[in-house]
Each structure stands twice: as C-alpha cells, then as structure tokens.
C-alpha cells in the first residue's frame, strides 16, 4: 500500500489547512494512507510523524495557520540533514511526500527529489513570490487583511489630512504591496522591483500636496528601508507630520478567504493525482485559472512582470 507523508514548512499561510484536508481526502479515495509530519522538515528529521485520517482534517478548511505546525529548519539545509530525512521516510514506509511551503521549502523538496523521494510541492506563502503561478495559497487572505487595515488607516488619514507609510510583508517580492496599493488606493508605492529613493518619495508627496491632496498613503515592502528613518526624512524635507504603520504578523493569520480555500483544495487534489501518476519533483500552480505543474528546479526561472500594474498605479495617483 502507498503511504503519503505531508508537511508544512517555512512561514505559515492561511489556506494551508485546506490544502492538508484536500490531500488527505484525495489520498484516502485512492487507498493511500496519509501520515502527518509535524513541524516541517525538522519534524521529519525528529520522526514527529502520526497517522492523519479524513476525521483528523474534518472542519479545518476555515482555520488559519497549520494544524501540522511549521518551522524553518537549519539542519535540513545540510546534506546530512536531508539524508537523515530520507532515511526516516524509508523507515516509516512513506513513498510519497507533499510539501506545502514557499521558496526555501521548495528548494528542500527539490533536493529530496534528487535523493530519490517522490515529492510534489504546493505553494503556500503569503508573499506570492513565485512567478510560475499566478497565486500561492495565503496571498489572497493576507491581501484582504492588509486592505482591511488600509481602509481603517485611510479613514483617519482623511479626517486629519495625514500621510501614512504602511509597511507590508512580502520578503523580497512586491506583490502584497502592489496589489494592496491597487485595491486600497495607495498613492505612492515602493517595492523591491522598483525601489524609490527618499527624495523621489518626497517629490511625489510634494506634487500631490501641491495639487491639494494631503492624505497620502505610501505603501512599501518590508526589508527595504528603516520606516522611521523615511518618516523623519519626509517630515524634515516637507515640513509635514507623517504616520507609520508596520502591519506585521496580522498578515499571516486569520481564516482563509474563499479563494484561498478553493485554490488549496484544487492544488491538494492535483498533488495527489500527480504522485499516483508517477510524477515527482514538480510544483503545482495556477495559471489562467487552470491548475498546472512545473519542475521544482524551474520555479524561480520565470520573471515577474509589474509593468501593467505599476502603470495603473501611476495613472490612479495623478491629481492635478
Ligand atoms: O514568507 C512569509 C513571511 O511572512 C515574509 O513575508 C516575512 O519576511 C517572513 O515570513 C517572516 O518570517 P519569520 O516568521 O521567520 O519572522
């Protein structure tokens, strides 16, 4: 009998539970036993593995986080750690593995594939930092969490004619900032793919203020600047007071959106299908609303294209 191991790795993302549920149910329907590996790759190395039945995953699709818990595992980054993990899989008779996670998790999955493990990756990260897929699980929910926060900040900014810098997550990817600026009416956006210097940000605010717009929203991706330094710079140059808001980990939690639950369900079923059809070393994704797959080794070979979205933002932020 085939045995499937499933783990979540890296940062958690809303919708991971819906993906776990989908994998367990799809596997059960193909008479495959599922083993839940707790705590990501570290849990695999530590043999933290238990049977996972459809009853265990019943009513979890609406829950944020991951019932399997997750970690960022340093030991697994070493060859010896990965060999240990492969031996544990053999010891438990696990011949199929599903890894739900982001970039680092996929790198680990690809290395396990090279060690002869049958593995499929499901993209679960709020960052949406894979260009091979239109969406990763968790992005839509995080985006809506950001929009909820932006909307509240906008109310008070309008009342007080204030400018606020909002820092969102995304690691080195500008998707969360770009989409939230588009949907949340952000005036100025700076992302790793088009980083604005302090003076450019100041001159953009200045031109909006000159045209009578005083409540400006600056949306930036994390890790690019010291947000307090940017605030002080703007305040000194333009003689205005600026607010800052780092949204932080509220972006990672919460009940997944309908979109994320459905995406997770589709990807989970596809992952099981691929394994039973004899495929390995693939990542599932979504393109033009179709579930697709691509070699794990190629997930980062496709480039992001922000041209259209940034063009829209530039169009919407003109006030004169
Ligand atoms: O990858 C998801 C993410 O939330 C990033 O946006 C962020 O940079 C990072 O994880 C934070 O990681 P940690 O949970 O290790 O602090």
Tens of pLDDT, residue by residue over 158-217, are 999 999 999 999 999 999 999 999 999 999 999 999 999 999 999 999 999 999 999 999
For ligand 1, say whether the CB of 127 is within 6 Å of any of its atoms.
yes
Q: What is the pLDDT of residue 130?
A: 97
Residue 148 a catalytic site member:
no
Ligand 1 atom closest to the Cα of residue 176 is 6
Instruction: Tell me which residue has its CA closest to atom 11 in ligand 1.
Output: 11
Distance of CA 73 to the CA centre of its chain: 18
Confidence at residue 314, expressed as pLDDT on a 0 to 100 scale:
85
Structural domain boundaries of the chain?
3-137+256-298, 141-253
**Positions at the binding site for ADP:** 154, 213-215
Helix (H, G, I), strand (E, B) or coil at 301: coil
Name the CATH topology of 141-253.
Rossmann fold (3.40.50)
Residue 1: what pLDDT? 84
- As for the ipTM of the complex, it is 0.98
pLDDT value, residue 319 = 61
Task: Kindly give the number of the ligand 1 atom that is closest to the alpha carbon of 249.
Answer: 4
Neighbours of 186 (CB within 10 A): 24
Sheet holding 282-287, edge to edge: 49-52, 33-37, 3-8, 96-101, 118-123, 282-287, 290-295
State percent of the chain over pLDDT 90. 93
**CB-CB contact of 121 with 99 (8 Å):** yes
> Does ligand 1 come within 6 angstroms of the Cβ of 11?
yes
CATH number, span 3-137+256-298: 3.40.50.450
Question: Which one from 56, 58, 127, 157 is the annotated catalytic residue?
Answer: 127
Low-confidence ranges of the chain (pLDDT < 70): 318-320
Residue 217, SS3? strand
Of 2, 8, 3, 1, the C-alpha closest to 268 is 8
Equal fold, 3-137+256-298 vs 141-253 = yes
pLDDT in tens, 33-63: 999 999 999 999 999 999 999 999 999 999 9
- The verdict on the CB of residue 169 being under 6 Å from ligand 1 is yes
């Amino acid at each position: 009998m085939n045995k499937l191991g499933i783990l979540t790795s890296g940062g958690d993302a809303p919708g991971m539970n819906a993906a776990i549920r989908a994998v367990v149910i799809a596997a059960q329907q193909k008479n495959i036993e599922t083993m839940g590996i707790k705590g990501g790759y570290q849990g695999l190395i530590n043999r933290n593995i238990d049977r996972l039945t459809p009853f265990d995953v019943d009513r979890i699709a609406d829950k944020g986080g991951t019932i399997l818990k997750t970690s960022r595992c340093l030991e697994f980054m070493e060859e010896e750690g990965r060999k240990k993990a492969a031996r544990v899989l053999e010891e438990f008779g696990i011949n199929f593995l599903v890894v739900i996670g982001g970039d680092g998790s996929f790198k680990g999955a690809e290395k396990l594939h090279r060690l002869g493990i049958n593995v499929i990756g499901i993209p679960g990260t709020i960052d949406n930092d894979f260009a091979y897929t239109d969406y990763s699980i968790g992005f839509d929910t995080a985006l809506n969490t950001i929009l909820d926060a932006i909307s509240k900040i906008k109310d008070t900014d309008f009342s007080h004619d204030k400018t606020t810098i909002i820092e969102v997550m995304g690691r080195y990817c500008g998707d969360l900032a770009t989409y939230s600026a588009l949907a949340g009416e952000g005036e100025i956006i700076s992302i790793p793919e088009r980083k604005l210097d302090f003076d450019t940000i100041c001159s953009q605010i200045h031109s909006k203020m000159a045209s009578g717009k005083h409540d400006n929203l600056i949306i930036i991706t994390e890790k690019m600047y010291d947000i307090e330094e940017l605030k002080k710079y703007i305040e000194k140059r333009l003689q205005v007071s600026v607010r800052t808001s780092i949204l932080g980990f509220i972006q990672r939690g919460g009940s997944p959106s309908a979109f994320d639950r459905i995406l997770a369900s589709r990807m989970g079923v596809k992952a099981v299908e691929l394994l039973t059809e004899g495929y390995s070393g693939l990542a599932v994704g979504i393109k033009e609303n179709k579930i697709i797959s691509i070699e794990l080794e190629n997930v980062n070979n496709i480039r992001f294209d922000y041209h259209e979205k940034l063009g829209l933002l530039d169009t919407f932020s003109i006030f004169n």
